[in-house]
Amino acid sequence: MVAAARRGLEPLGASRAPLVLGRDHPLSRMAALVRVLAWQVAAVSAAVVVGALGAAERRGWGIRLLCAALAVELALLMLFALARQLRREHVLRLIVGGRARLPVAEVSREAHRLVAPGHRAQLAERLERALDEAERWHELPVASRPPAGVRLLCGFAPEVRAIAGQLRGGRSALPGLALLELFLAGRYGSALYAGDEDLLREHLWRIRYLICPAAPAGGADRDA
């Protein structure tokens, strides 16, 4: 667990988000929270090591310290993961709004991740897998079925295939990639499985419109 925590921690340097966006911006606040939690995880990791050493020497205090530190570490790691996800969602909303060139490390990292061919292929695969689950929903074992709301995706198969094709074979604009990432965030809690046909139509239309550089309004791909 200690090793996993260390690998998962990113650089602990302060974010530039408060300087660029202001301290009250949601991304600034979330970046500060992530940094605080990272330091706390690192500090508790040291307690885990000390407790493990004490437990190895069969010291009573070592076992107690190890158990307590592991419990705190687990809770902090869960909070850290949640804070990072919320921070990513704030970054994605900035990119959707055409602000991918902000001089903020969190934004530039996310922009590079989104346009990577491997990541675009993963997004296409997730969409295609969801469509396949929707079309074969009644054939799937009950225990492995996704929420029934995904079946609405069958009515939007052309849109889903068009988006997946653009992801795999064409140049995909950053705002569309970010919006698709937001659309899929939360797994079964995402809009994809909500069972709201109007919401699903709106999201897919906007994603297809933004993800294609040839969209009529133009300019959506200038940050790609």
User: Residue ranges per domain, the chain?
Assistant: 2-109, 116-211
> pLDDT tens digits for 110-136?
999 998 889 999 999 999 999 999 999
Helix (H, G, I), strand (E, B) or coil at 102: coil
Cα(101)–Cα(111) distance, integer angstroms: 9
pLDDT above 90 covers what percent of the chain?
Answer: 26
> pLDDT tens digits for 14-23?
677 777 778 8
For residue 35, with 0-12 CB atoms within 10 Å meaning exposed, 13-18 middle and 19 or more buried, which class applies? middle
Residue 99 has pLDDT above 90, yes or no: no
> pLDDT tens digits for 173-206?
889 999 999 988 877 878 888 888 898 899 999 9
**Cα-to-chain-centroid distance, residue 205:** 21
> pLDDT tens digits for 2-35?
444 444 455 455 677 777 778 888 888 888 888 8
Average pLDDT over residues 95-108: 88
Q: What's the predicted TM-score (pTM) here?
A: 0.76
pLDDT bin (cut points 50, 70, 90) of residue 77 is very high
Residue 215 has pLDDT above 70, yes or no: no
Average pLDDT over residues 65-83: 91
Average pLDDT over residues 143-156: 88
